[in-house]
Amino acid sequence: MPAETTHDAQTGTFKVAAIQMASGPNVAGNLSEARRLIARAAEQGARLVVLPEFFAIMGMTEQDKILVREQPGSGPIQTFLSDVARQYKIWLVGGSIPLAASSPDKVLSSCLVFDDEGTQIARYDKIHLFSLSMGNDSYDEAQTIEPGDKVVVVDSPFGRIGLAICYDLRFPELFRAMPHVDIIVLPAAFTETTGKVHWEILVRARAIENLAYVVAAAQGGYHVNGRETHGNSMIVGPWGRILDRLPRGSGVVIAEINPSYQASLRTGLPALEHRTLHSC
């Protein structure tokens, strides 16, 4: 990919975007909305764009996503991601989509990364599965989702990108297992119950402790299935400052990433080099 399409040749900076949606049960409708928002992000100069968790379907029941699951490398959702990445000449992080699992009544929640030629270059299967029983809120992803077991970091023209999904945010050891990561992408669909007290704190914490940029693309608003997601998609800098955010509704969050600034922080505060406790 030519350098001028990925960053400002004079400053070394480049733009990234997080897409926020309030997806419903209609896959075609969700893909149309995603295309519209991706086009807006590309028009504003974003070269790396991140979609939210299950951007293509938030079904009326948890089983609905099983009905539209795809085999790896084939299916309308994956074709959409490839085509849009190529059309807009962007690197596209495809939130998460339902891929076939080993069990016929479950899916993998898979985050796929496509380069600007539309080639899939990485896949991360969500490791930590959300469970909540609190008041009127009750969720158990393990009923319909099969967990992954591999940490994934992608080499890109923008630096090293670590992949995580939603509930993974609560497990800092996952991010510590990402070697030399510059950008963390986090597609999510945080509930309003947990999100209103934990989301911002956790996103900023992951940025600060890893001195990394975090691009958190969330579902945000009321869904036709009755669910309410917290939204507040945000891009956070390595010093923990929120560079842009969108509280609710569909839209685009966009910010500039400055690798030189990040490098200066890591030199001035070499906390990553001071680690003495490592997981076995």
Work out the pLDDT band at 15, boundaries 50, 70, 90.
very high
Q: Of the ranges 7-16, 24-33, 255-264, which one carries the lowest mean pLDDT score?
A: 7-16
Q: With respect to residue 2, please indicate whether it lies within any of the assigned structural domains.
A: no
Averaged pLDDT, 12-20: 97
Asked if the structure places residue 162 within a domain, the reply is yes
* Residue 106 is a catalytic residue: no
Q: What is the pLDDT of residues 76-127, one digit of tens each?
A: 999 999 999 999 999 999 999 999 999 999 999 999 999 999 999 999 999 9
Name the residue among 7, 24, 45 with its Cα closest to residue 227. Answer: 24
Catalytic residue, from 53, 141, 146, 256: name it.
53
Kindly indicate the confidence band of residue 278, based on its pLDDT and cuts at 50, 70 and 90. confident
Closest CA to 153 of 176, 129, 130: 176
Question: Helix, strand or coil for residue 27?
Answer: helix
**pLDDT higher than threshold 70 for residue 10:** no
Average pLDDT over the chain reads 94
For the chain, how many structural domains are there in total? Answer: 1
Task: Encode pLDDT of 232-247 as tens digits.
Answer: 999 999 999 999 999 9
Q: Which amino acid is at 209?
A: E
Does any domain span residue 199?
yes
Nearest partner of 201 among 179, 161, 223, 172, judged by Cα: 172
Compute the C-alpha angle 37/38/39, nearest 5°. 90
Mean pLDDT (whole number) for 255-280: 91
- Report pLDDT for 137: 77
**Residue tagged active-site, from 33, 126, 141, 146:** 126
Q: Is the model more confident about 130 or about 133?
A: 130
How many CB atoms lie under 10 A from the CB of residue 36?
A: 12
CA 132 from chain centre, in angstroms, equals: 21
Which pLDDT tens digit goes with each residue over 190-229?
A: 999 999 999 999 999 999 999 999 999 999 999 999 899 9
- 3-class DSSP string for 134-148: ECCEEEEHHHCECCC
Cβ atoms of 21 and 30 closer than 8 Å: yes
Tell me, yes or no, whether 163 lies in a domain: yes
Up-side HSE of residue 220: CA atoms within 13 Å toward CB?
25
* pLDDT in the model for residue 32: 98
Domain CATH code at residue 180: 3.60.110.10
Residue 250, domain member (yes or no)? yes
Beta bridge partners of 132: 139
Q: Is 8 a residue whose pLDDT tops 80?
A: no
Residues ≥6 apart with Cβ < 8 Å to 18: 49, 50, 52, 215, 216, 217, 218, 233, 234, 235, 252, 253, 254
Q: Where are the alpha helices (DSSP H) in the chain?
A: 27-43, 64-67, 76-88, 172-176, 192-210, 259-268
In a domain, 7, yes or no: no
Q: Is the pLDDT of residue 129 over 90?
A: yes
Catalytic residue of the set 15, 33, 141, 166: 166
* Residue 213, in any domain of the structure: yes
Domain range spanning residue 116? 13-274
What is the C-alpha to C-alpha distance for residues 111 and 69, in angstroms, rounded to an integer?
13
3-state secondary structure of 244: strand
- pLDDT (average), residues 161-165: 98
Express each pLDDT in 26-78 by its tens digit.
Answer: 999 999 999 999 999 999 999 999 999 999 999 999 999 999 999 999 999 99
pTM more than 0.85: yes
228 is catalytic: no
In a domain, 8, yes or no: no
Q: Are 62 and 227 in contact (CB under 8 A)?
A: no
- Give pLDDT, residue 136: 74
Distance CA 272, CA 222 (A): 39
Our answer to whether residue 111 is catalytic in this structure is no
Instruction: Check if the beta carbon of residue 247 is closer than 8 Å to that of residue 231.
Output: yes
Exposed / middle / buried, residue 46 (Cβ in 10 Å: 0-12, 13-18, 19+): buried
- Reported as a pLDDT band with limits 50, 70 and 90, residue 280 is very low
